[in-house]
Structure 1
Amino acid sequence: MAYVVTDACVDELDKSCVEECPVDCIYEGARMVYINPDECVDCGKCVPACPNDAIFWEHKIPADKALFVDIAVDFFDETEASGGAEDFGPVGRDHPAVAELGGND
């Protein structure tokens, strides 16, 4: 895994990061996007594209956002989303921890 999307993306779904990703590894859940840790090539192009500052390099993620590293891994283990986000299409659901979060105001 290289980059991780955090709670600042919940209910925003701007998807500017998706447009910048050269390997199509950012998948759409119901309330936020997720970066597939097995497909990400650690290029970092998604970070400046995110208007919400929701994406962090896993080795420099703030401690209060660290749970999103495990959330991303679990999300892809549970959904088996792979092979490119555009071809896969929207997943249509979120990790249970994200589904339970309050909305961003």
Structure 2
Amino acid sequence: VTAAKNGKEAVDLHRINGQSFDLILMDKDMPIMNGIQATKELRSTGISSKIIGVSSSSREESNVQEFVEAGLDDYYMKPLTEEMLREILDKIKP
């Protein structure tokens, strides 16, 4: 498990450090680079990791749609429950 404090740090983990992950939980609202920008950057580098977006915004908000279109594999509303996390982890099992 690796935590990034903002979207730029998340992108740098891949671009600069060369790290790869099976699953990325991406918050929509982060400082420096938001989740929409970070997701677009990661997808533009060709990463195929599952990116699950999380936000306190409802699906109806237009910026959530932009987040999904940035390259998310799925989207969940906060707060994430233990059940939601299990569901997410089940999606990446081989």
TM-score range, shorter chain: 0.3 to 0.5
Q: Which has the higher strand share?
A: 2
Which structure has more relative contact order (CA 8 Å, sep 6+)? It is 1
Under a length normalisation based on structure 1, what TM-score does the superposition of the two structures give?
Answer: 0.35
